[in-house]
């Protein structure tokens, strides 16, 4: 051989340009189609036809293995109750094979249970609006609404629960309006004690501009007077109430 591609003269048994030969293709097609091949065909073609007829022939010993298992599987699926297509489905599809009429009450019961559980949970963590919380307090023994029955934004309570707790004890919450009430009730207002300015939260209002500094109170000198109070930071001339973030050393709004 002279390499991967042999010269024609080196393979005299094969016609040029047809490696492997294609003259036997009609005979091979006859074998595949199980047609009788001509008697003058090469003997290897007859042997080939005989071998393929054997391998396509009737069953031999062991060729019917698994019959019992297959028939058992067939009998398991075919029963008088399984004439309907739904009954012929395998057992692993039992849930999806249930009729829709049986699934509808189940789904409704699940949704109702989830909604009820969620409502009770919300009542016990005291995040419901006031009237609803009051009703939950009466019906299921949830905590009573601690203040008024007006709507409270839940985001404020979730983000800063300690701050709102302080607000509840220090001063009444303003109404929905972001502006402070013009004249709060003096009986419910608790004046900030001297020296406790660091724990005083800012108002709940959502304005982000510095409020004017309060006028001098009895417990605190004005910054214009000298010397300034040591706890007051001159870099923050007034409490900035934005997103209800309590500012250290903040001075309570006098309107509260």
- Interface with another protein (CB under 8 A): 20-21, 24-25, 28, 31-32, 43-48, 50-52, 54-60, 62-67, 69-71, 73-75, 77-79, 82-83, 85, 88, 90
CA distance 163 to 244: 8
Q: Considering the complex, state which of residue 55 and residue 100 has its C-beta at the smaller distance from another protein.
A: 55
Q: Considering the complex, state which of residue 46 and residue 157 has its C-beta at the smaller distance from another protein.
A: 46
Q: Considering the complex, state which of residue 28 and residue 156 has its C-beta at the smaller distance from another protein.
A: 28
**Burial of 25 from C-beta contacts in 10 A (0-12 / 13-18 / 19+):** exposed
Q: Considering the complex, state which of residue 30 and residue 240 has its C-beta at the smaller distance from another protein.
A: 30
Is 212:203 a contact under the CB 8 Å cutoff? Answer: no
Q: Considering the complex, state which of residue 48 and residue 170 has its C-beta at the smaller distance from another protein.
A: 48
CB of 94 to another protein, least distance (A): 14
CA distance 108 to 114: 10
Q: Considering the complex, state which of residue 31 and residue 167 has its C-beta at the smaller distance from another protein.
A: 31
Q: Considering the complex, state which of residue 83 and residue 106 has its C-beta at the smaller distance from another protein.
A: 83
CB of 101 to another protein, least distance (A): 23
The DSSP result for 4-60, as a single string, is: SS--GGG-TTS-TT-TT-STTHHHHHHHHTTPPPPTTS-HHHHHHHHHHHHHTSS--
**Burial of 241 from C-beta contacts in 10 A (0-12 / 13-18 / 19+):** buried
CB of 156 to another protein, least distance (A): 56
Beta-sheet strands, E only, within the chain: none
- Nearest-CA neighbor of 86 among 71, 103, 64, 106? 103
CB of 74 to another protein, least distance (A): 5
Q: Which residues have C-beta within 8 Å of that of residue 146, sequence separation ≥ 6?
A: 126, 168
CB of 91 to another protein, least distance (A): 11
CB of 84 to another protein, least distance (A): 10
The number of beta carbons lying within 10 Å of the beta carbon of residue 159 is 13
CB of 134 to another protein, least distance (A): 59
CA distance 157 to 166: 11
Q: Which residues have C-beta within 8 Å of that of residue 243, sequence separation ≥ 6?
A: 159, 206
């Amino acid at each position: 051989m002279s390499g991967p591609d042999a010269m024609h003269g080196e393979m005299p048994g094969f016609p040029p340009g047809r490696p492997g030969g294609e003259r036997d293709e009609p005979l091979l097609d006859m074998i595949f189609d199980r047609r009788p091949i001509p008697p003058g065909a090469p003997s290897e073609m007859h042997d080939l036809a005989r071998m393929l007829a054997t391998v396509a022939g009737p069953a031999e010993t062991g060729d019917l293995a698994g019959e019992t298992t297959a028939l058992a599987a067939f009998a398991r699926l075919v029963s008088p109750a399984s004439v309907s297509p739904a009954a012929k489905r395998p057992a692993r599809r039992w849930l999806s094979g249930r009729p829709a009429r049986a699934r509808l009450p189940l789904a409704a019961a699940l949704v109702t249970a989830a909604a009820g559980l969620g409502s009770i949970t919300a009542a016990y963590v005291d995040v419901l609006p006031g009237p609803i919380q009051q009703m939950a307090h009466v019906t299921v023994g949830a905590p009573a609404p601690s203040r008024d029955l007006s709507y409270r934004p839940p985001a404020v309570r979730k983000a800063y629960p300690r701050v709102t707790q302080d607000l509840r004890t220090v001063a009444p919450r303003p109404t929905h309006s972001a502006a402070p009430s013009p004249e709060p009730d003096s009986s419910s207002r608790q004046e900030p004690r001297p020296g406790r300015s660091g724990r005083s939260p800012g108002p709940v209002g959502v304005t982000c501009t510095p409020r004017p500094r309060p006028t001098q109170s009895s417990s605190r000198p004005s910054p214009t007077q000298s010397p300034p109070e040591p706890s007051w930071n001159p870099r923050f001339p007034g409490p900035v109430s934005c997103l209800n973030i309590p500012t250290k050393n903040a001075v309570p709004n006098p309107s509260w």
